[in-house]
Amino acid sequence: MRRYWVPAALSSELPDTDCSPIRVRLLGEDLVAFRDSEGRLGLLEEFCAHRRASLYFGRNEEGGLRCAYHGWKYDVSGQCVDLPQQPAYAPKIAICSYPCVEAGDVVWAYMGPPELRPDPPSVEWATIPGGQRYVSKWLQYSNYLQGIEGAIDSSHVSFLHRYEIEQNPLLKKTAATDFIKGDPNPEFDIDRTSGGLIVYAKRRDREGRAYYRITQMLMPWFSFPPPFGQHPLLCQAWVPRDDESCMVWSISYCTDRALTAEERAAMADGGGINVTYVPGTFLPVQNRTNDYLLDRAAQKAKKTFSGVAGLVAADVAIQESMGAIVDRSLEHLVHTDKAVVETRRMMLEAARAHARSGTTPPGVSGESQRIRPGCVILRAEADVREFLKEGQLRVGDRPVMSV
């Protein structure tokens, strides 16, 4: 994971020069992020080299972050630039820092070896004008992989989201709804790409047609679920804070138009693939401390399948319900878990190859990140790969089709 750019913070969390520093937890490390007087981004280990006070309580002023305890001050590179008690000692003192870039309203950090720093993030939503995207994030108390395994698993939509796919104001009822409800047993097929996987989930109807939901998984934490109705395209990322929690990023974007004010307002209100928050936090209002506001009456009345309202809240509830790190040795997988299996296989292979010989893992190169999801209805006997052909899902083309 240290070979990739890591989504670290919303740009809006660091709105101005000399703004308040924020805490960031990434890949098991406690960090503090700030924007200095010249607008440069700093991402430093959270604790002062002197007596280990948290720099979160520091003063962000005059080109650096100054510890509130005894006034030691660090620039964005982690170098101590002022040490009031013993000034000559300052050049010898530095704390860990990671380089950052800003793209797509997100501050990305690179936590790997400096000489292997990759191309800047090239996922499509990070390269289009800001008016065409909406970015949000929330805290999830599970291992990141449980999130990805949900995102690439189209089969759960026929159950967990069964009633809500018709009710979400940003989704609307479409032909897709009938296929998803009508065929709970999709056939999975998978292609490997240079950055991850293309997952085809095929559902049939009685008229001999097939609806394909084509999800892309991009290493090491992205998923691009297929478009639904007129909803903007989606990308999600499950970024580990540590082994037992992750930050879930959700990006809704249009490649050919700005989002409307109504769409933005609905997303800010928790619509689509977004949430509302416990004030002052990134914790969803529906969370594990209140059973996600489980409503058994709504479940009985078939308003929701699980009793948990909302597409995101239902996913979070289920993924957290498995425990922070689910014990995979107790699972019983079936044919609709093909994408789950292939994702695990690909990640294990990449991790082992990297550990063995430093092999660059899939999805590091900018080229491998320029992908889109899609969906299409074809005759059931048609070959979806024939239809898609090489490159048809890449940036620059329209999404295959919206239904």
Residues near Fe ion (CB under 5 A) are 315
Residues 291/306, Cβ–Cβ less than 8 Å: no
Backbone angles phi and psi of 380, in degrees to 5: -60, -30
CB of 13 to Fe ion, least distance (A): 27
CB of 231 to Fe ion, least distance (A): 14
Residues 152/217, Cβ–Cβ less than 8 Å: yes
CB of 142 to Fe ion, least distance (A): 13
Residues 231/399, Cβ–Cβ less than 8 Å: no
CB of 382 to Fe ion, least distance (A): 27
- Would you say 183 or 315 has its CB closer to Fe ion? 315
Q: Which residue is nearest to Fe ion (CB)?
A: 315
- Would you say 45 or 315 has its CB closer to Fe ion? 315
- Would you say 44 or 237 has its CB closer to Fe ion? 237
- Would you say 76 or 171 has its CB closer to Fe ion? 171
- Would you say 36 or 315 has its CB closer to Fe ion? 315
CB of 156 to Fe ion, least distance (A): 6
Q: What is the rounded CA–CA span in Å between residue 237 and residue 217? A: 10
The pair of three-digit structure tokens given for residue 151, joined into one six-digit string: 């995102």
Backbone angles phi and psi of 27, in degrees to 5: 45, 40
- Would you say 277 or 305 has its CB closer to Fe ion? 305
CB of 20 to Fe ion, least distance (A): 34
